[in-house]
Chains A and B, each alone.
Chain A
């Protein structure tokens, strides 16, 4: 399949391409062309595209075990980076724009809500990048010599989508009518997109990363 056809069939894959360092302007290149050029496992690339395109898509057990955990973690790290540097900073800019043009000083509090939320997201990602991912990358070396296991992560994996819904509701329903509708719509669209992406991202962590590592742990213990 041609890369261009992928994007034309689901434009949301644009953000996925970004995370695989695939730049636009690829002409007629196919999935396999680009995968060998960028050293991506084609099956993994296709898996990610499927997850982003179909709400309930999950790999079967055999395909799950074929995933290289390092490649998956690499993708998740890139996604975190994208969320923080792109999605959240764009949302912040739009929120500032909105606040600037509204007199209501309550908007300062809205900004505070956002900043607190971003802290939460950063903490969430830092835990994964500093504790969970290194554990997985070294799992073969560590073997029994660690108290950590993936179920600790599973139990502690917090939900960072809910507060976005709160923010959406406040902006849709409760900011006064005097606040620019246009600026609100721009911000809302970004919030919706970001939330969709977060949901997919958590699905990858919960339905793919955790089961995969859990299987690997079983083999180590055998």
Chain B
């Protein structure tokens, strides 16, 4: 059960979809829709003021090339759960930016359920935040330090790219280090790799 009211921001060009989504969300006592942006202009200026806990965004608002990196765009603008809104087919790589995807054909309870799952499951991750890296994260970190790309890491560990990205996010969150070279130093200082492996 959640005992908090989450502030939801919707970024979506269509008023009809926005009104519908707002109607659905506000059936649940846990969500209040605080605002609505029809475009992504001035996001860095507008977002911090809105203090949203959850942002539902239509990835189509982003140019084709930027779509792959939506989570990076939002990352620096605050901490919130990012949820994608999909009209129809959208590709895996774009979807991996989001904690979850809701489709416009989903019914009300399903939408509420999807979002509730995100805020409750990621709560657990927050609890771990202070702790050291998990064993799995250490393995991923070693691969990162060796200069492997997300796709290679996914193949090597038999996980999806989505999972790799979410591991990377958690590693950076815990260590405070974003760059590959910085993470390599972390791995060296913690004896996860030795100097000879590092070219």
Contact = CB atoms under 8 A, between A and B. Distances in A.
Given A105-B195, A109-B198, A166 B177 contact: yes
B177 A169 contact: yes
A57 B198 CA distance: 45
Given A113-B181, A163-B182, A166-B182, A106 B188 contact: yes
A175 interface: yes
A116 B195 CA distance: 18
Interface of A: 104-106, 109-110, 113, 116, 162-163, 165-170, 173-176
Given A105-B195, A109-B198, A116-B181, A166 B189 contact: no
Contact of B178 (A105, A106, A162, A176): A162
Given A113-B181, A163-B182, A175 B176 contact: no
B190 interface: yes
B62 to A, nearest CB: 14
Contacts of B21: none
B182 A113 contact: yes
B186 interface: yes
Contacts of A162: 178-179
A106 B189 contact: yes
Given A106-B189, A110-B185, A173 B176 contact: yes
Contacts of A105: 195
B195 A174 contact: no
B189 A175 contact: yes
